[in-house]
Structure 1
């Protein structure tokens, strides 16, 4: 990782947590209320959503420059979402293992080449969720095919990369990891950080 620029130096005092009280828990999240002290010195009542898994995102890019997306109905916004393959990976497990699993389960694909290109804090004012994003290339059908869980009803699309990127920039793909990974891959293709033949196929 490159050295941080000088302007990234933090200022002030950090938050201070007092005792926490778990007010909700299930296999995926834990909601804890804290009596805390803000960096300004003021007391605050803080609710933190703690995640028991990492967020895992995979951008599968085919040799012809197309990408594989999955479509599904999502509960929180009661809408339909086209997005890259995503899911949760246990905190104690290498995120790459989770990425391989999610790709196979949601798309029936496996990849010869994997590259971690993104780490992100999702909604860091109220959650501690960390996301890991991977680009997967050298794609082929997995021997086991799709292995979706009991709550998943997925559709598959394979648009050209630039078409998917345009859909995201036009607001048709609202999932933040999908947007971030498409923009990251676009930047890498433009900057020569991806194989030349693949970059040409993506940008052509």
Structure 2
């Protein structure tokens, strides 16, 4: 197999923000051609979970997503904070968004939202046996509802295209396969 990796010759930051950073790379392709400006979006890594309660219901959250101007049905998750282990980040997000804690947790996939333009990855977990241990502790600009669905209901939501977040659909499909539901 041939080496398809590009060499980064230089990088220049165009914008640095807390949630997204844009840089322009000058790259050399394996055959020596130069790409003068290749734009890369830098985001923090994300973690999410297909979270099952002790009575085998899948916890979902419903919230407004401004960039797409939609109310989105999603699995719980969010940004992994700097220095935080992905599983720790997922556990924190589950607790903050839903108030549920989990003992049985397994990494089921690591995926990239768009590896052609963005550098971050999403760690998706399967969390089982969830128990409500506290109230939600939402971030300043978060407002979300916690909902519970049976596995057949979630499968129908996927079939009806009612879950718009692609990374969350991916996690749900991996989890359903792991659970022997596909």
Q: Is TM (by shorter chain) over 0.5? A: yes
RMSD: 1.6
Shift in Å at residue 100 of structure 1?
A: 0.8
Secondary structure in structure 1 of the residue aligned to 2:103: strand
Distance 1:22 1:170, change over 3 A: same
Shift in Å at residue 130 of structure 1?
A: 1.1
Kindly tell me the number of residue pairs found equivalent between the two proteins: 180
Shift in Å at residue 35 of structure 1?
A: 1.6
Higher helix residue share:
1
Runs of 4 or more consecutive aligned structure 1 residues displaced over 4 Å after TM superposition: none
Residue in 2 that maps onto 1:50: 42
Q: Is the 8 A contact 1:117 1:184 kept in 2?
A: yes
Shift in Å at residue 40 of structure 1?
A: 4.6
Q: Which runs of 5+ in 1 are unaligned?
A: 1-9, 191-202
Q: Which runs of 5+ in 2 are unaligned?
A: none
Residue in 1 that maps onto 2:158: 168
TM-score of the superposition, structure 1-length normalised? 0.82
Shift in Å at residue 88 of structure 1?
A: 0.4
1:143-197 Cα deviation digits (max 9, x unpaired):
3x2100110110121111121122123211011222112111111122xxxxxxx
Residue in 2 that maps onto 1:120: 111
Residue in 2 that maps onto 1:150: 140
Indicate which of 166, 178, 182 corresponds to 1:188.
178
CA distance in 2, matches of 1:11, 1:155: 49
Distance 1:13 1:116, change over 3 A: closer
